[in-house]
Amino acid sequence: METIYDHGVTEQELTALFGPEEERETRDEYLEFLSSDSACADLYLLYQHRHQPNRAAEYLGRIADESYRRTVGMPSCRTSLNTPTAEPTASKKSPAVYAVA
């Protein structure tokens, strides 16, 4: 299964997507329970963050669960990653959740 780690994700990108290193899963923990749809969602978000919308759309289209695909593709999900007022919160075992003030 293709993941963000196959796409040269940087430490800065990991922080933007999942929060600070000390609060996010390790690579092995991330890969342990990752579903195919979640891997595609993360790739979609990675390429949105890199400002490559065509490449992002390719991964969004690979998400099999239509409801999940619609949720991931919502503008609020994409824009919160680059919003200066977004405060990431995450635990070691859960993905980052962004609250926009």
C-alpha span between 41 and 70 (Å, rounded):
11
In the chain, domain spans? 4-100
* Amino acid of residue 24: R
Q: Tell which residue, 74, 51, 50, 73, has the closest CA to residue 62.
A: 73
User: How confident is the model over 34-50, as pLDDT tens digits?
Assistant: 999 999 999 999 999 99
Res. 62: pLDDT tops 70: yes
Res. 80: pLDDT tops 70: no
Quote the pTM value: 0.75
C-alpha span between 3 and 42 (Å, rounded):
8
